[in-house]
Structure 1
Amino acid sequence: MVNIFKKIIMTLLSEIKKRGLFITILMNLSHLIGITRGLFYKVLYFRNINSTFFSLQANSKIEVFNKKAKITMGKFVFIRKNASIRIDFDGVLQIGNNVFINDNCNINCVNRITIGKNTKIAPNVCINDHDHNYKKNTTDHLIRGEVTIGENVWVGSNVVILRDTHIGDNVVVAAGSVVKGTIPSNTIFLNKRETELKPYKGKEKVVQFSI
């Protein structure tokens, strides 16, 4: 606990030097509100959430729908605005130290999702460890899997991470990607996409290019 407060003080002094006192006060007031909201959810789900202090900013929420569900958060987890974390059944969600989750992210866990330390998640990312069983060939309406995101991973904006995905350490996931399967460590992952420009007047040729 002493080390945590020491780090906070050192960070504040550094921010004052870079940003100025007034801006630093405003910014950290927002952080204080986020930490207060985090404490509220920690108390609300005291049997389900195991954590130290974490920041949960405006309109972000945690929903736990089963007494068996567990959330573990490491130190200095920061969750920005309008994020939604939902966990059900006997799901286990583990978030490591110094993880940053940006605006409008959705994490839906019914089995197991692990996010390694120092990972940064950009806005509008969706992470699911399950699919709906549209074939209805079992009594369970869900098909359950796992998602593992390694340490020091950067997940770009608008990424969708599907069940049974394992992302190694130091991976960069390009914006707009749909991820499923195993991604080796120390790689850049992107979906190859082709764009077509189809004229609606005249007889011009279709132009294709890859991004």
Structure 2
Amino acid sequence: MSKLVLKIIKTLMSEGKNRGIYYSFIMFFSHLLGILRGSFYKLVYFKNIKSSIYSLQSQSQIEIFNKNSRVFIGKYVFIRKNTSIRIDYHGELILKDNVFINDNCNINCVNKISIGKNTKIAPNVCINDHDHNYKETSIDHLIRGQVIIGDNVWIGSNVVILRDTVIGDNTVIGAGSVVKGKVPANSIFFNKRDTIIKNIINKDRYISEAN
């Protein structure tokens, strides 16, 4: 506890020089509220969540729908606003130390999702370890898999990560990518995009041809 207090004091002093005392206080108060929200969810789901100190900011929520679901949250995990985390069935969600999750992200876990240490997730990222069984070849309406994300990974904005994906350590996932399968460590992953621009010489003719 003394180490934590010392770290908070050092951080406040450092941020006070860079931001100003007033704005540093506002930031600290926001973080404190996030820690209290995280503690609230830990209390509500005391049988399901095991965690160190973590921050869950306003309008973000954790929903657990099964007594067998488990959530493990490491030290100094920071989850920003409007993020939705849902765990069901025998789902196991692991957020290791110093994971950062930005605004408007969605994590849906029914089997296993693991996010490694120091991984940063940009806004509007969606992570699913399952698909809906639209073929209805079995009683189960879900097809379950896993998502394993390594340490020191950067995931860009608007990325969708699908079931049965393994992302190696120190990897960058380019913004807007759809990821499925194995991504090797120490690599940059992105979906190739083609940009098409058409000149409209005769507007009326172009519309007629389009119709």
Give the alignment's TM-score, normalised by structure 1.
0.93
Shift of 1:3: 2.5
Secondary structure at the counterpart of residue 108 of structure 2? strand
Aligned-pair identity (%): 64
Shift of 1:80: 0.3
Secondary structure at the counterpart of residue 78 of structure 2? strand
Question: What corresponds to 1:209 in structure 2?
Answer: none
Secondary structure at the counterpart of residue 196 of structure 2? strand
Rounded to whole Å, the distance in 2 between the matches of 1:135 and 1:198 is 39
Question: What corresponds to 1:173 in structure 2?
Answer: 173
1:54-65 alignment runs, 5 A limit: 54-65=54-65
1:89-144 deviation line (CA, Å, top 9, x unaligned): 00000001011000000000000000001000000000000000000001110000
1:37-76 deviation line (CA, Å, top 9, x unaligned): 1111000000000001111111000000000000000000
Question: What corresponds to 2:144 in structure 1?
Answer: 144
Question: What corresponds to 1:45 in structure 2?
Answer: 45
Rounded to whole Å, the distance in 2 between the matches of 1:48 and 1:30 is 26
Gaps of 5+ in 2: 207-211
Counterpart AA for 1:19: R
Counterpart AA for 2:91: G
Rounded to whole Å, the distance in 1 between the matches of 2:149 and 2:112 is 11
Question: What corresponds to 1:107 in structure 2?
Answer: 107
Shift of 1:19: 1.1
Label 1:184 to 1:200 Cα distance change in 2 as closer, same or farther (>3 A): same
Gaps of 5+ in 1: 205-211
Rounded to whole Å, the distance in 2 between the matches of 1:6 and 1:174 is 37
Question: What corresponds to 1:163 in structure 2?
Answer: 163
Question: What corresponds to 2:125 in structure 1?
Answer: 125
Query: What CA RMSD, in Å, does the superposition of the two structures yield over aligned residues?
Result: 1.3
Rounded to whole Å, the distance in 1 between the matches of 2:2 and 2:68 is 32
Rounded to whole Å, the distance in 1 between the matches of 2:201 and 2:146 is 49
1:19-98 alignment runs, 5 A limit: 19-98=19-98
Counterpart AA for 1:51: S
Larger CA Rg, structure 1 vs 2? 2
Rounded to whole Å, the distance in 1 between the matches of 2:163 and 2:25 is 41
Task: Using the TM superposition, name which of 118-127 and 12-21 deviates more.
Answer: 12-21
Secondary structure at the counterpart of residue 195 of structure 1? coil
Rounded to whole Å, the distance in 2 between the matches of 1:102 and 1:70 is 22
